[in-house]
């Protein structure tokens, strides 16, 4: 591993890309500490401390995780990259239902650039809307139990907040694109990963307090429990890697064609059907829906609604059941959006390909749909288990959620997936220049 890391800096182009990536991520992390004007930071920190002590949490917790803690400090990057992610998902869903967008997506590079441009426009619109409602929300001290977060409320504060937060999101989007073009790895994914990894020191500090015999609360976690946690962490990471890389290979045979004196086709290949097609998107959708009532309960002063919303909090049986079912549903929903067996069967038939033992046409469509349905079930059950694993760790080992969140859920899926993708790109640069890579026993496969 160390030799491969040294080899990475022997290739000028790869060295330049690694340095650019590190610098751009450093700029992003510095921006996460630049405060938004007109905010009382101490009052805002007190409010988020109260949220952190609640059992359920709200949508602000998701935004705070993706922004690397910038939301709880309301810095210029408080919105993070969430508007861009939302715009990308919305456009991807619209591509499946709007023929014009579907046609544009099939036009190759030019069509993809056009869709990327629409995604940028959608990011700006969502950023303006979200930042405006955040500004309105911050101005009401009744929602914060008497805490006065905004120093001088009014339209000047609202417009300044909209301009600051929207510009911050657009700048993060630009940083991600620059990493994608001039650096190494997927820029947007690396920005998200950097934000999640930035929470690790705070988690380690909390864990140290729990295991230290000199802390005010005395030792709450025994050394044996700490070893169990390390073993569980290794198990979860290995399991996520296996499922993320797992795929069902459908063999495809192409018929031989003789055109003049040339012979075309005749080779064998396969269709890789991923076990986890939806990835982290299913968890994001499920979290957004199940945390929405708890978020609205902080805005609506209705006792009946608040009692109902508090029934869907983390740790309750109803929460676990609904959360798991939502994850499984969105795994199938997203797979149905991105995987079209009809188009796949038609393309195979067009180029003379067929699955051995399966007739081309409708029989191929039925077979692909049959296999994908069952493969997705395995992936959906695993994703549901990984999403619920932090709750199990909290209940079993009595650790804070910040510590337990690194044993599963959205964070571990993003970190593992992005790290695999980045290592694969570095590996390809090393092998292209005949240097020994990170993986000695074979080449690591990409996520897509």
pLDDT at 101: 83
The answer to whether residues 50 and 12 belong to one domain is yes
Closest CA to 271 of 201, 183, 391, 367: 367
The answer to whether residues 164 and 24 belong to one domain is yes
Closest CA to 119 of 81, 66, 67, 167: 81
Reported as a pLDDT band with limits 50, 70 and 90, residue 269 is confident
The answer to whether residues 293 and 248 belong to one domain is yes
Q: Which residue has the higher pLDDT, 193 or 148?
A: 193
The answer to whether residues 273 and 383 belong to one domain is yes
pLDDT for residue 427 is more than 60? yes
- List the alpha helices (DSSP H) in 139-245: 155-182, 187-197, 200-211, 223-245
pLDDT at 357: 84
pLDDT for residue 27 is more than 90? yes
Q: Tell me, what DSSP letter sits at residue 173?
A: H
| Degrees to nearest 5, angle at CA 139 with 138 and 141 | 90
Q: Is residue 377 part of a domain?
A: yes
pLDDT at 59: 61
pLDDT at 424: 83
Nearest-angstrom CA–CA distance, 300 and 175? 37
pLDDT at 230: 87
Q: Is residue 202 part of a domain?
A: no
Looking at the DSSP bridge assignments, the partners of residue 270 are 251
Average pLDDT, the chain: 80
pLDDT at 226: 82
Q: Is residue 431 part of a domain?
A: no
The answer to whether residues 182 and 46 belong to one domain is yes
pLDDT for residue 126 is more than 50? yes
The answer to whether residues 264 and 358 belong to one domain is yes
pLDDT for residue 8 is more than 80? no
The mean pLDDT of 181-208, rounded to a whole number, is: 84
The answer to whether residues 312 and 185 belong to one domain is no
Nearest-angstrom CA–CA distance, 188 and 204? 26
Report the relative pairing of strands 268-274 and 247-254 from DSSP bridges: antiparallel
Which residue is listed with tokens 């992003």?
28
pLDDT at 174: 92
pLDDT tens figures, 289-303: 776 666 666 656 666
pLDDT tens figures, 38-82: 887 777 777 776 665 554 455 666 677 777 777 778 888 888 888
pLDDT-wise least confident of 85-99, 212-226, 336-350, 406-420: 212-226
The mean pLDDT of 3-24, rounded to a whole number, is: 83
pLDDT for residue 441 is more than 60? no
The mean pLDDT of 245-262, rounded to a whole number, is: 77
The answer to whether residues 400 and 281 belong to one domain is yes
- Greatest Cα pair distance, the chain, in angstroms, is 85
Domain boundary among 155, 172, 192: 192
Q: Is residue 214 part of a domain?
A: no
Q: Is residue 433 part of a domain?
A: no
pLDDT for residue 119 is more than 60? yes
Q: Which residue has the higher pLDDT, 266 or 84?
A: 84
pLDDT at 137: 78
Share in percent of the chain as helix, strand, coil (round to 5): 70, 5, 25
Closest CA to 395 of 327, 328, 319: 319
Nearest-angstrom CA–CA distance, 396 and 185? 37
Range of the domain at 268: 220-407
The mean pLDDT of 400-405, rounded to a whole number, is: 76
pLDDT-wise least confident of 56-60, 70-74, 361-365, 441-445: 441-445
The answer to whether residues 251 and 130 belong to one domain is no
Q: Is residue 213 part of a domain?
A: no
Reported as a pLDDT band with limits 50, 70 and 90, residue 448 is very low
Q: Is residue 210 part of a domain?
A: no
Q: What is the percent of the chain where pLDDT is above 70? A: 80
pLDDT at 310: 63
**Helices 409-432 and 362-397, packing angle to 10 deg:** 120
- CATH code for the domain of 15: 1.10.3370.10
Q: Is residue 447 part of a domain?
A: no
Collapsing DSSP states into helix, strand and coil, what is residue 262? strand
pLDDT at 390: 83
pLDDT for residue 442 is more than 60? no
Reported as a pLDDT band with limits 50, 70 and 90, residue 23 is very high
The mean pLDDT of 235-245, rounded to a whole number, is: 88
Q: Which helix (H) or strand (E) holds 254?
A: strand 247-254
The answer to whether residues 186 and 241 belong to one domain is no
| Number of independent structural domains in the chain | 2
The answer to whether residues 247 and 147 belong to one domain is no
Half-sphere exposure (Cβ direction) of 399: Cα atoms closer than 13 Å: 29
Reported as a pLDDT band with limits 50, 70 and 90, residue 25 is very high
Global pTM value: 0.79
The mean pLDDT of 385-414, rounded to a whole number, is: 80
pLDDT at 192: 85
The answer to whether residues 175 and 44 belong to one domain is yes
């Amino acid at each position: 591993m160390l030799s491969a890391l040294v080899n990475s800096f022997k290739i000028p182009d790869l060295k330049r890309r690694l340095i650019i990536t590190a610098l751009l991520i450093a700029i992003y992390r510095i921006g996460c500490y630049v405060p938004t004007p007109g905010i009382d930071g101490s009052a805002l920190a007190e409010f988020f401390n109260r949220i952190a002590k609640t059992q359920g949490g709200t949508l602000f917790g998701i935004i705070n995780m993706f922004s690397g803690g910038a939301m709880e400090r309301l810095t210029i990057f408080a919105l993070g990259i969430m508007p861009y992610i939302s715009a990308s998902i919305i456009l991807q869903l619209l591509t499946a239902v709007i023929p014009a967008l579907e046609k544009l997506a099939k036009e190759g590079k030019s069509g993809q650039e056009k869709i990327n441009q629409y995604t940028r426009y959608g990011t700006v619109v969502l950023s303006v809307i979200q930042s405006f409602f955040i500004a309105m929300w911050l101005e009401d001290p009744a929602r914060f139990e008497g805490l006065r977060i905004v120093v001088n409320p009014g339209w000047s504060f609202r417009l300044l907040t909209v301009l600051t937060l929207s510009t911050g999101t657009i700048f993060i989007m630009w940083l991600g694109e620059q990493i994608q073009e001039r650096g190494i790895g997927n820029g947007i994914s690396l920005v998200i990963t950097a934000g999640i990894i930035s929470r690790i020191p705070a988690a380690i500090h909390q864990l140290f307090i729990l295991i230290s015999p000199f802390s005010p609360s005395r030792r709450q976690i025994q050394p044996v429990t700490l070893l169990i946690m390390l073993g569980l962490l290794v198990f979860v990471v290995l399991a996520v890697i296996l499922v993320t890389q797992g795929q069902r290979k459908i063999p495809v045979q192409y018929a031989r064609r003789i055109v003049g004196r040339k012979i075309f086709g005749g080779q064998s290949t396969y269709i890789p059907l991923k076990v986890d097609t939806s990835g982290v998107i299913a968890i994001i959708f499920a979290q957004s829906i199940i945390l929405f009532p708890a978020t609205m309960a902080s805005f609506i002063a209705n006792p009946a609604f608040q009692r109902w919303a508090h029934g869907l909090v983390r740790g309750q049986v109803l929460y676990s059941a609904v959360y798991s079912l939502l994850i499984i549903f969105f795994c199938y929903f997203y797979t149905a959006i991105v995987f079209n067996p009809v188009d796949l069967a038609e393309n195979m038939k067009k180029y003379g390909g067929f699955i051995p033992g399966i007739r081309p046409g409708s029989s191929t469509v039925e077979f692909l749909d049959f296999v994908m349905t069952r493969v997705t079930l395995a992936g959906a059950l695993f994703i549901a288990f990984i999403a619920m694993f932090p709750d199990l760790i909290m209940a079993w080992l009595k650790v804070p959620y910040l510590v337990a969140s690194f044993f599963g859920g959205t964070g571990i899926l993003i970190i593992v997936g992005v790290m695999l993708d980045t290592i694969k790109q570095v590996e390809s640069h090393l092998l292209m220049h005949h240097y020994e890579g990170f993986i000695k026993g074979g080449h690591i496969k990409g996520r897509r």
